[in-house]
């Protein structure tokens, strides 16, 4: 395929996801799992996303549904098609984050995630508009508390500082206050007439500031005319977003954020001129196009700069890329849909494995997202320190030596006592002539490292592991072929082949080079 064909395929996707389901239960008096003891209004194996919680503040049910949603997200990541959908959903989740522990609303978190999936390569204004009014964001940044009698500046500030313009871009404190008044009147409800309903954002005109909103010289002294009536909130929100989007700083800021996520944190003057400014112009030229962000992302990923040697292997992998990438590389098996309880158990364990490696998906540290994407001058270096490096390596070793397991007590009998682990013989069979130790080492190095390692290092790996100190390549060839022909062989050298593969791959995984992309 040509580069254009590759990028087009990576960007050819829709939000075709099936919703998360109830695969959770609670222990009965004998400590056996019983799905009827929690969230009983949802049948086991059915989705909960369209069923209001009753009562709405049952923390056990909220926690169970949140766990289901987080597990579901992990399943989408590890089982994704070969597209950039999951990568872009994560980008926007970091760009406009919410923290699950603060929102603490499973249905709202799910619907916000769906907005990111639907709009991730769509129109930026539409995405911002939708996210602004999503119940999860309304709760997270106090939008539901923003009323005319006591305007709350939280969302208006982050809209400018973190979502659209960037800190220090030129907006003023009075601009934040004016934006807060524009956004007054919106709130979130989860019941109507005493009956639980799914979380939804509504506009209450009597809570909206109906006077004009004056903005600073940075926004050309724009005045957003105060309105009343049921459409006032929608009209003024559109006017606010149009005003911000009219500033070049908005397109430049968003394109820098894309660059820092997909390329590298540091942006020097040459990159600003040669990459960011042309991307920002493309962003502005497509301001009203439904696939605006697809056009901008495509331009970045097909640029000469994206493939230049200067930025190859320059970024430390975030934990999610490190772990998910490893599982997909090796073809880690997971339960199929018929064993949905086992699926969600293993996906939940995957969630905590990524968290252990240093990245808690759905719960970034603050409203700015993960510091690796914004904190000058360290950026992605922040993924690695004396505590996280061993944890990252242990996560990789867990994949190599360990397995995903299900407990003895499950609701689905067929989901109990299962083990899912990588078959490294099957993995090596996908390579070319894995019985040749030189070819095997070279191909593993190509898969694990974005920059070449020396022939001396590869030779040392070959002798230490594949040849077990011998000097004749035939030692590995004979052992590998003997084991492949008969895994129950009594040949002592051949019996060691699976262990040797674990030792070799475990060693190569822990190299510093493997943490770069």
* Distances from the Cα of 110 to the Cα of 143, 320, 369, angstroms: 18, 19, 18
Whether the full predicted model's pTM is greater than 0.75, yes or no, is yes
Distance CA 437, CA 428 (A): 11
CB 324, CB 77: distance < 8 Å: yes
Residue 186 binned pLDDT confidence (cut-offs 50, 70, 90):
very high
Residue 154 has a pLDDT of: 98
Residue among 214, 238, 241 at smallest CA distance from 225: 214
Which tokens is 147 given?
Answer: 């009323």
Length of the chain (residues): 517
Alpha-carbon distance of 114 to 201, in angstroms, equals: 16
CA distance 121 to 84: 10
Confidence class for position 30, pLDDT limits 50, 70, 90: very high
The DSSP output letter for 462 is I
Calculate what percentage of the chain has a pLDDT beyond 90.
98
| Predicted pLDDT of residue 447 | 96
Other beta carbons within 10 angstroms of residue 190's beta carbon come to: 17
With beta carbons less than 8 A apart as the criterion, state whether 409 and 31 touch.
yes
In degrees and rounded to multiples of 5, residue 21 shows phi and psi of: -125, 170
Q: Judge if the upstream peptide bond of residue 482 is cis by omega within 30 degrees of 0.
A: no
Residue with tokens 């056009």: 295
* Residues with Cβ within 8 Å of residue 70, at least 6 apart in sequence: 100, 348, 351, 361, 362
- Give the separation between CA 132 and CA 155, rounded to whole angstroms: 8
Q: DSSP per residue over 254-321, as a string?
A: HHHHHHHHHT-S---HHHIIIIIHHHHHHHHHTTT-TTHHHHHHHHHHTSTGGG-GGGTT-SBPPHHH
- What pLDDT, on a 0 to 100 scale, did the predictor assign at position 302? 97
Distance (Å, whole) CA 242 – CA 249: 13
Residue 502: Cβ-neighbour burial (10 angstroms; 0-12, 13-18, 19+): middle
User: pLDDT per residue over 286-304, tens digit each?
Assistant: 999 999 999 999 999 999 9
Do 163 and 143 contact (CB within 8 A), yes or no?
no
CB 38 within 8 A of CB 25: yes
Beta-strand (E) ranges in 138-209? 186-192, 195-203
- In whole angstroms, give the CA distance from residue 374 to residue 257: 8
Q: Within a 13 Å sphere around the CA of 504, how many CA atoms are in the beta-carbon half?
A: 31
pLDDT tens digits, 344-384: 999 999 999 999 999 999 999 999 999 999 999 999 999 99
pLDDT tens for 238-290 read 999 999 999 999 999 999 999 999 999 999 999 999 999 999 999 999 999 99
Q: What is the pLDDT of residues 467-482, one digit of tens each?
A: 999 999 999 999 999 9
Please report the pLDDT score of residue 33 as a whole number: 97
Query: Does 55 sit behind a cis peptide bond, omega within 30 degrees of 0 on the bond before it?
Result: yes
What proportion of the chain, given as a percentage, has pLDDT over 70? Answer: 100
Q: How far is CA 263 from CA 393, 441, 517, in A?
A: 23, 28, 9
Q: Which residue has the tokens 């987080």?
A: 70
Yes or no: say if 19 and 49 are a contact pair by the CB < 8 Å rule: yes
Cβ neighbourhood burial of 148 (10 Å; 0-12, 13-18, 19+): middle
Q: How many CB atoms lie within 10 A of CB 493?
A: 17
Is residue 461 within 8 A of residue 441, CB to CB? The reply is: yes
Q: What is the distance between the alpha carbons of residues 37 and 52, in angstroms, rounded to a whole number?
A: 17
């Amino acid at each position: 395929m040509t580069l254009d064909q590759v990028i087009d395929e990576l960007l050819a996707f829709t939000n075709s996801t099936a919703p998360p389901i109830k695969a959770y239960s609670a222990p009965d008096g004998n400590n056996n799992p019983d799905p009827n003891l929690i969230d009983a209004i949802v049948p086991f194996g059915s989705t909960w996303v369209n069923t209001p919680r009753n009562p709405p503040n049952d923390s056990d049910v909220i926690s169970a549904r949140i766990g289901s949603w987080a597990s579901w997200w992990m399943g989408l990541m590890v089982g994704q098609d070969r597209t950039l959908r999951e990568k872009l959903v994560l980008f926007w989740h970091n760009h406009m984050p919410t923290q699950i522990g603060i929102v603490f609303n499973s249905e709202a978190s799910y619907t916000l995630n769906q907005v990111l999936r639907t709009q991730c390569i769509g129109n930026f204004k539409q995405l911002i508009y939708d996210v602004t009014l999503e119940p999860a964001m309304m709760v997270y940044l106090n939008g539901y508390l923003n009323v005319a009698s006591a305007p709350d500046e939280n969302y208006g500030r982050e809209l400018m500082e973190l979502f659209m313009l960037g800190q220090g871009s030129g907006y003023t404190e009075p601009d934040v206050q004016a934006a807060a008044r524009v956004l007054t009147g919106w709130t979130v409800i989860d019941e109507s007439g005493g009956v639980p309903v799914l979380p939804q954002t509504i506009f209450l005109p009597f809570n909206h500031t109906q006077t004009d909103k004056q903005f600073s010289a940075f926004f050309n002294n724009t005045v957003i005319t105060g309105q009343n009536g049921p459409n006032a909130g929608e009209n003024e929100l559109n006017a606010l977003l149009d005003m911000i989007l009219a500033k070049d700083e908005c397109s430049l800021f968003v394109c820098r954020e894309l660059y820092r996520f997909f390329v590298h944190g540091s942006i020097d003057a040459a990159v600003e001129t040669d990459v960011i400014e042309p991307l920002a112009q493309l962003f502005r030229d497509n301001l009203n196009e439904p696939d605006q962000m697809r056009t901008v992302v495509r331009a970045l990923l097909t640029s000469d700069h994206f493939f230049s040697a200067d930025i190859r292997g320059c970024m430390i992998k975030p934990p999610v890329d490190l772990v998910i990438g490893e599982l997909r590389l090796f073809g880690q098996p997971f339960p199929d849909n018929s064993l949905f309880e086992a699926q969600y158990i293993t996906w939940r364990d995957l969630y905590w494995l990524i968290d252990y490696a240093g990245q808690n998906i759905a719960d970034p540290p603050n409203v700015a997202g993960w510091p690796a994407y914004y904190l000058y001058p360290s950026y992605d270096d922040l993924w690695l320190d004396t505590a996280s490096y061993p944890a990252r390596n242990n996560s990789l070793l867990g994949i190599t030596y360990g397995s995903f397991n299900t407990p003895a007590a499950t609701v689905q009998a067929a989901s109990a006592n299962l083990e899912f682990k990588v078959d490294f013989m099957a993995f090596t069979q996908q390579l070319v002539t894995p019985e040749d130790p030189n070819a095997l080492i070279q191909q593993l190095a190509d898969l694990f490292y974005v920059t070449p390692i020396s022939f001396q290092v590869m030779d040392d790996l070959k002798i230490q592991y594949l040849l077990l100190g011998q000097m004749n390549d035939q030692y590995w060839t004979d052992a590998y072929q003997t084991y492949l022909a008969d895994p129950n062989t009594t040949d002592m050298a051949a019996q060691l082949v699976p262990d040797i593969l674990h030792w070799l791959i475990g060693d190569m995984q822990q190299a510093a080079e493997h943490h770069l992309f």
